[in-house]
Amino acid sequence: MVDDVDVVVVGGGPTGMMLAGELALAGVEVVVLERRATPELVGSRAGGFHSRTIEILDQRGIADRFLAEGKTHDVPYSGRLLLDMSDFPTRHPYTLGLWQNHIERILAGWVDELGVPTRRGVEVTGLTEDDEGVEVRLAGGEVVRAQYVVGADGGRSVIRKAAGIEFPGLEATTSTLIAEVEVTEELPQGIKFDAHGVHGLSFMENGHTVRVVSAEAGLGATTEPTLADLAANLEAVYGTDFGVHDPTWISRFSDATRQAATYRKGRVLVAGDAAHIHSPAGGQGIGLGIQDAVNLGWKLAQVVQGVSPDTLLDSYHDERHPADARALEYTKSVSALQRQDARIVAVRDLLDELVAMDEPRRHVVGIISGLDVRHDLGEGHPLLGRRVPDLDLQVDGQLVRLYSLLHAARPVLVNLGPAGSVDLGRWSGRVQLVDAEYAGAWELPVVGAVDAPAAVLVRPDGHVAWVGDGTAEGLQEALVRWFGP
């Protein structure tokens, strides 16, 4: 058995690395266990994320790393339309296109800067939980012990299964081949739709490797697809296989949709694809995992450090499970809209007309972007439970972006009233207090203009935990609830 650590994160994809970074910022001893032997991801199964995820990365001061390498564009909808969100009150009113191998490389660089150890080429086979912690078993007999274990190990999560967490949902009805290959023939232009779904071939960044996405006529086999499978499918759709050869990788995805019945069972938690799987239609996958990680990280850190009781971890499930469930409903609808059945085409045409109108467009873009998420923190000001806007504050005569106050993943009480009108008392060592001025309007995505608060208590994940109206009423209760007694 190796020395104990505070937290073991199983899985070194975007979710696992984001969570490890969050824990490291909080001073928690964390180790990442990753089955892949090398940090380089072979191929790019996913391609970017939406506005709220970019904001989250901005809250940690690393969004520019991704923006520098990706390409921004309008929000994709139903496989055919791009929706304009330039009127949304955010610094990032767009979707970012960036392949997963680049996303993982950038995140790995950030995690390395934070000093997080990642053990690669390690296969987790099971776990045993007791009152004091969890023993994670590795192939070869080694055991790693931690206070808590988080499974970020994908849709076939060993951790979820070992913990006995149920994974209910819908079985697949369609499947699609996805690959990166070389070709010998000229490619067709654009995306093709047929009765089975979407088909498309496009060159990758290097100018010669081709990314192929091609729906299958029926459900594919459970075995890994071969080059012959891909060639046959392309032949059936296009009348040629384009001379596909030398695949970098070939895989298959479906519209199966499942969500863990609980995101926490004792000292074991799940996040990202280990907590939910769905069709990639709508581009929700990586973003949901990063949002899970940022919601969980600071809470788990406070529990490990004895600041908060372990009941705080229940709020991870209470908040992220419904938010993820809503996103999964969206992916199911978009996946269905990509079919070419005459009845579905009629529905899609009607919905396309509706989303061309401002109010339906804003509603749908709010769901896709994640900017409309509101955690149920009780009744009160419209800001309560929503992400705080990234305002340009005046602090000691200097212009300060509100999100820059969250770079260290610490909570902050922003006082917009007279200096000294709110007091943190015993929480002054845990929560930042910033006296600031802001003269502009407060506007929330989808909701619109809201009354300017006198103060806001912002959690490390950027969500508002308390709104002041000029008095300190309710502040102490919020501090106890979220940042310990």
d(CA 30, CA 148) in angstroms, rounded, equals 10
Boundary of a domain, candidates 254, 286, 307: 254
Strands (DSSP E) contained in 225-372 are: 245-254, 257-259, 264-265, 268-270, 276-277
User: Could you tell me the residue range of the domain that residue 116 belongs to?
Assistant: 5-169+258-369
The number of distinct structural domains making up the chain is 3
Q: Per the domain annotation, does 149 fall within a domain? A: yes
Could you write out the DSSP letters of every residue in 406-430? GTTS--EEEE-SSTTSS--GGGTTT
pLDDT of 223 higher than 90: no
Which amino acid does the sequence have at 385? G
Q: Per the domain annotation, does 382 fall within a domain? A: no
What does the block give as tokens for 406?
Answer: 């969250």
Same-domain pairing of 424 and 457: yes
Structure confidence at residue 43 (pLDDT): 60
Task: DSSP letter for 234, please.
Answer: H
Structure confidence at residue 51 (pLDDT): 97
Q: Per the domain annotation, does 284 fall within a domain? A: yes
Boundary of a domain, candidates 254, 273, 303: 254
Confidence of residue 207 (pLDDT cuts 50, 70, 90): confident
Are 263 and 275 in contact by the 8 Å Cβ rule? The answer is yes
Average pLDDT over every residue of 369-382: 95
Same-domain pairing of 157 and 182: no
Structure confidence at residue 320 (pLDDT): 98
Same-domain pairing of 40 and 142: yes
Are 16 and 291 in contact by the 8 Å Cβ rule? The answer is no
Structure confidence at residue 101 (pLDDT): 87
Average pLDDT over every residue of 54-65: 98
pLDDT of 459 higher than 70: yes
Average pLDDT over every residue of 213-231: 85
pLDDT per residue as tens digits for the range 438-448: 988 999 999 99
Sequence-distant contacts of 214-217: CB under 8 A, at least 24 apart: 214/176, 214/177, 214/178, 215/174, 215/175, 215/176, 215/177, 216/174, 216/175, 216/176, 216/177, 216/252
Counting residues of the chain whose pLDDT is more than 90, the rounded percentage is: 75
The residue assigned the tokens 């079985």 is: 171
In sequence order, the β-bridge partners of residue 395 are 398
Same-domain pairing of 89 and 188: no
From the list 480, 451, 482, the residue with the least C-alpha distance to 468 is 451
Same-domain pairing of 68 and 155: yes
What's the CATH number where 116 sits?
3.50.50.60
Task: DSSP letter for 194, please.
Answer: E
Structure confidence at residue 252 (pLDDT): 87
Average pLDDT over every residue of 381-407: 97
Same-domain pairing of 36 and 82: yes
Lowest mean per-residue pLDDT among 174-188, 208-222, 322-336: 208-222
Confidence of residue 45 (pLDDT cuts 50, 70, 90): low
Same-domain pairing of 248 and 263: no
Q: CB neighbours of 434 closer than 8 A, spacing ≥ 6?
A: 393, 395, 400, 405, 412, 413, 414, 415
d(CA 22, CA 153) in angstroms, rounded, equals 17
What's the CATH number where 209 sits?
3.30.70.2450
In sequence order, the β-bridge partners of residue 254 are 175
d(CA 272, CA 281) in angstroms, rounded, equals 16
Same-domain pairing of 351 and 469: no
Q: Per the domain annotation, does 383 fall within a domain? A: no
Tell me if residue 351 falls in helix, strand or coil: helix
Q: Per the domain annotation, does 443 fall within a domain? A: yes
Structure confidence at residue 2 (pLDDT): 55
Confidence of residue 410 (pLDDT cuts 50, 70, 90): very high
Same-domain pairing of 361 and 288: yes
Same-domain pairing of 144 and 192: no
The residue assigned the tokens 């996040």 is: 271
Q: Per the domain annotation, does 230 fall within a domain? A: yes
- 459: exposed, middle or buried (Cβ count in 10 Å: 0-12, 13-18, 19+): buried
Counting residues of the chain whose pLDDT is more than 70, the rounded percentage is: 97
pLDDT per residue as tens digits for the range 286-345: 999 999 999 999 999 999 999 999 999 999 999 999 999 999 999 999 888 878 788 888
Inter-CA distances, 193 with 198, 243, 464, 471, Å: 5, 21, 43, 58
Average pLDDT over every residue of 371-399: 96
Report the chain's mean pLDDT, rounded to a whole number: 92
Structure confidence at residue 281 (pLDDT): 79
Confidence of residue 42 (pLDDT cuts 50, 70, 90): low
What's the CATH number where 468 sits?
3.40.30.120
Burial 187-222 (b: 16+ CB within 10 A, else e): eeeeeebeebbbbbbeeeeeeebbbbbbbbeeebee
Structure confidence at residue 44 (pLDDT): 61
Q: CA angle, 186 as apex, 185 and 187 as ends, to 5°?
A: 115
Same-domain pairing of 126 and 264: yes
Q: Per the domain annotation, does 379 fall within a domain? A: no
Q: Per the domain annotation, does 374 fall within a domain? A: no
Q: CB neighbours of 148 closer than 8 A, spacing ≥ 6?
A: 6, 7, 8, 133, 134, 267, 268, 269, 300, 303, 304
- For the four alpha carbons of 461, 464, 465 and 468, in that order, the dihedral sign comes to positive
Boundary of a domain, candidates 217, 237, 254: 254
Lowest mean per-residue pLDDT among 128-132, 216-220, 270-274, 412-416: 216-220
Confidence of residue 424 (pLDDT cuts 50, 70, 90): very high
Which amino acid does the sequence have at 121? G
Same-domain pairing of 336 and 470: no
Inter-CA distances, 305 with 23, 28, 301, 314, Å: 11, 8, 6, 17
